[in-house]
Amino acid sequence: MIHLPNDDNTCGWYQALPQTPVKPQLNGEVSTDYVVLGAGFAGLAMARRLAEHSPYARILLIDAQRIGQGASGRNSGFVIDLPHKFALEHPNPEHKQKLLSLNRSAISQLSKLVKQYSIDCQWSAVGKYQGAVGSRGEAYLDHFEHLMKDLGEPFEHVDGAELAKVLGTNYYSRAIYTPGGYLMQPAALVRGLGESLPENIEVFENSPIRRLYKENGHWVLQGDHGVVKTPELLLGTSIFTREFGYLKNRLLPVMTFASWTRPLTDEEMQRYGGQLNWGLTPADHAGTTLRMTADRRILIRNTYKHVPKYGASVSDRVKQQIQNDHRQVFLARYPELEDVPFTHTWGGVYAISRNFTNFFGQLDDGVYASACDNGVGAAWGTISGTLLADLVAGEYSSALKDIQQVTGMPSLNPPEPLLGMGVKSRIQLAKWQSRSEL
């Protein structure tokens, strides 16, 4: 029995979208040339690229939920060009340049698709701020500045007064602005990518796969109402890759949480006094991510949980406590908006590894995966999914060589219960250390 995604219906990004017809469910017995499992950023990119390479092949894209309901539609809406904060610490400058090039290739690819298919997802090239609240955050900003100089990337200092004009709050002491990041509505982007796939891709939603096994040289995927046989299987399943027997004891399931308001009224916008459509990530990685969306919603994201049972690990009581914590963070920044309610609080599960290494490549005969995005899935999922399809098709490039050089095998985790105890303690320690930046 495979443990399936267990996402609730409280994701604000997804609930804000208009309803669309449901794609068919997997039914009966099907044979196909390729199966892509998982319709997030990685799976969508895999399927699209396979179809470009093999326009007459039959390609099935299967998701356990509706497209946009999973982790790819639950993030904070950043598509970041820079390497992740931990990757920026890598001692090899060439390694970091390759990550930067891969991320920017993903942004270019997504930009072209958004324009080509008129995907209405608030796609905007506005960069991002990295903000500090106090001395701890400012020390991290100083270090970030040093890393940016070593990388040769442009950035701007933004003092507290100037930052307040953008954010509508004087809560932050200063920030560093980097121009290369994009903002978007993630569920809208994922859905739009799913609606614009090539014609030889068949999409099945609400079609969980319960069992995977090999028979007569083909992989057999068994669902609730159907069975698929294929010689080539591409997994865009992130943390759920371990449910199929691969990368077991190497991936850590972590959920991070967000809350947002309803759209502010004209009068509330006057009280707010800041700009629209910006994003701020914390200088201290355990701090708070803050967004003002293009449609006037303020989003707060922080709080991390180890979720060995995915969504089922988080009770209603815990969700309410998280929303209460988010409310305090919101009021600390915007006390003049205390009458503006939160409408949604949600979490999204993703995979991290102890050695902060992404997996990319072949797992078994005819089985390939890009797994473990370490929390930066929009750009990484897009480019890794694209290049994985290139690998399967035998289309080699400098970008494929680069991604093979910057990825590897996630390290083994200690056994339970030591793993759960260790992760929980690490998260609690980070929360305590970063309390001044929340």
320 domain-assigned: no
CATH number for the domain spanning 385: value is 3.50.50.60
DSSP letter, residue 159: E
What is the distance between the alpha carbons of residues 76 and 300, in angstroms, rounded to a whole number?
9
Nearest to 5 by CA among 201, 216, 241, 248: 241
Distance CA 71, CA 254 (A): 11
> Is 213 within a domain?
yes
Enter the tokens of residue 361.
């490549």
Using an 8 Å Cβ cutoff, are 241 and 37 in contact? no
> Strands 232-235 and 226-230: what pairing?
unpaired
Mean local confidence (pLDDT), 215-233: 97
Residue 259 lies in a domain: no
The predicted structure's pLDDT at residue 363: 98
Whether 151 maps to a domain, the answer reads no
Task: State residue 114's pLDDT score.
Answer: 98
- pTM value is 0.96
pLDDT at 53: 98
265 occurs within a structural domain: no
66 vs 221: CA distance, rounded Å: 18
Whether 153 shows a pLDDT value over 90: the answer reads yes
**Tally of domains in the chain:** 1
Share of the chain above pLDDT 70, in %: 100
The residue type found at 56 is Y
Nearby residues of 291 by Cβ (< 8 Å), 6 or more positions away? 76, 77, 183, 260, 278, 279, 280, 297, 298, 299, 301
Q: What is the pLDDT of residue 428?
A: 85
**What pLDDT is recorded for position 424?**
83
Q: What are phi and psi of 195, to 5 degrees?
A: -80, -10
Which of 44, 103, 96, 12 is closest to 376 using CA atoms? 103
> Structural domain of residue 401, as residue ranges?
12-73+188-251+355-417
Tell me: the pLDDT tens digits for 307-362? 999 998 999 999 999 999 999 999 999 999 999 999 999 999 999 999 999 999 99
d(CA 166, CA 274): 5
What would the two tokens of residue 133 be?
Answer: 């609240």
Q: What is the pLDDT of residue 103?
A: 96
d(CA 177, CA 278): 11
**φ and ψ at 27, to 5 degrees?**
-145, 135
Q: What phi, psi does 172 have (nearest 5°)?
A: -95, 140
Residue 431: pLDDT band with limits 50, 70, 90:
confident
Q: Give the other-Cβ count within 10 Å of 3's Cβ.
A: 13
Lowest-pLDDT choice from 1-15, 100-114, 232-246: 1-15
Between CA 433 and CA 56 the distance in angstroms is 55
CA gap 421, 286 in Å, rounded = 19
For position 264, what pLDDT does the model report? 98
Q: Kindly tell me if the per-residue pLDDT of 109 is higher than 90.
A: yes
- Number of CB atoms found within 10 A of residue 303's CB: 24
Q: Is residue 405 part of a domain?
A: yes
Say yes or no to pLDDT of 1 above 70. no
Residue 348 resides in a domain: no
Does 238 fall in a domain?
Answer: yes
C-beta neighbour count of 177 within 10 angstroms: 21
